[in-house]
Amino acid sequence: MALSLSHSLIALLALPLAAQAVDNSYHRVSLFVGTAPTIGDSGKLMVRESMLVGLEATYPIWKGEVFGAAEWRAFRSRDREITQFSPRNADGTTKTDDASARSGFTPNGQTGYITMFTRDPRTSVVRPGGIAVDMRFDSVHMAKNDLDGGTAKLGFRYHMDSSFIGKWGVHGGLTVSFLNSSEWATGGIHVLDYRRYDGQNSLNTGWTDDSDQLNPDKNGGNNYGRLYNEYIYNDYTEKKIMPGVFAGVRLFINDNCYFETNIATLGHASPTYVPLAYTGKPGHIESSDGTRILWEFVAGIRF
């Protein structure tokens, strides 16, 4: 009995996939889940990974089937720094000896330096030339872009049969994306008339009308070198309906289970918050259109 059962199992495993019953002659509905890494530049998201879940309906026609799918997608992302610092010297310090480096703007039309850090050249410190950093004077602009939302596919699948790999099909068609594209921007930008390592960080740097204690001869340096402070706290989401295309291959494991892989393009908005300090114009959103090329890996169950 045991020998007969083992022979039956071996014979079943030896059957080619093509011999397993796969019925594509009537309409089917399936649920699927997958992952879809971005091909090429990850863009503002900074990472490539994404996931999708969806529902597909098919209807047989000619030697294949037409199908439509509704999907939900979510993309991973991470924070990035996008501060537009004024030009810097070879050692990384702000190029304050060059008037053309005054690339920061103020509401009243003045220009100044948007600085990253300065170095302390004194030899008495533990690390001569070490970074003297103080967030009261040094700027940072962080942003995190998120992307998620619905997409749809409409296409045709041509069924094929192979004695080696079994039932499979090639397909292609159109995608439509309706994705939420968000940017969360935070930080503080300080436009400086000058930046010094000695004493500037140790002073009370509240916004006052006191004369400039470091350089009293400067008429515009009331706040110890600062011309303008701009603090960023902005959350913006944009939605767009955009077309794309896809093409791929599906392998039927049996009548109810399948795997497939696709190359798909998805369009989306790409918003960016632009502070006043960068342009002299009031803080505003600039938006452009972007396209992501995805390599999808999908597993599904159909009914």
pLDDT in tens, 233-278: 999 999 999 999 999 999 999 999 999 999 999 999 999 999 999 9
Residue 269's pLDDT is 96
- Domain positions in the chain: 21-78+146-180+239-268+287-302
Residue 32's pLDDT is 98
Residue 20's pLDDT is 59
Per the CB < 8 A criterion, the answer to whether 30 and 56 are in contact is yes
Q: Is the pLDDT of residue 8 over 80?
A: no
pLDDT band at 90; cut points 50, 70, 90: confident
Going by C-alpha positions, the residue among 288, 189, 181, 179 that lies closest to residue 232 is 189
Per the CB < 8 A criterion, the answer to whether 131 and 115 are in contact is no
Residue with the larger pLDDT of the pair 220 and 203 = 203
Q: What average pLDDT does the structure give for the chain? A: 85
Residue 2's pLDDT is 46
How confident is the model over 36-53, as a mean pLDDT?
96
Cα distance between residue 26 and residue 61, in whole Å: 9
Q: Which CATH number fits domain 21-78+146-180+239-268+287-302: 2.40.160.20, 2.40.10.120, 3.90.550.10, 2.60.120.10?
A: 2.40.160.20
- Rounded to a whole number of angstroms, the CA Rg of the chain reads 30
How confident is the model over 209-232, as a mean pLDDT?
61
Least confident of 7-16, 24-33, 93-102, 123-132: 7-16
Strands (E), the chain: 28-35, 50-61, 64-75, 80-81, 104-105, 111-114, 118-119, 131-132, 140-162, 166-192, 226-252, 257-274, 284-302
pLDDT band at 178; cut points 50, 70, 90: very high
* Tens of pLDDT, residues 106-153: 999 999 999 887 766 665 555 556 676 676 788 999 999 999 999 999
Cα distance between residue 195 and residue 118, in whole Å: 7
Going by C-alpha positions, the residue among 239, 238, 261 that lies closest to residue 249 is 261
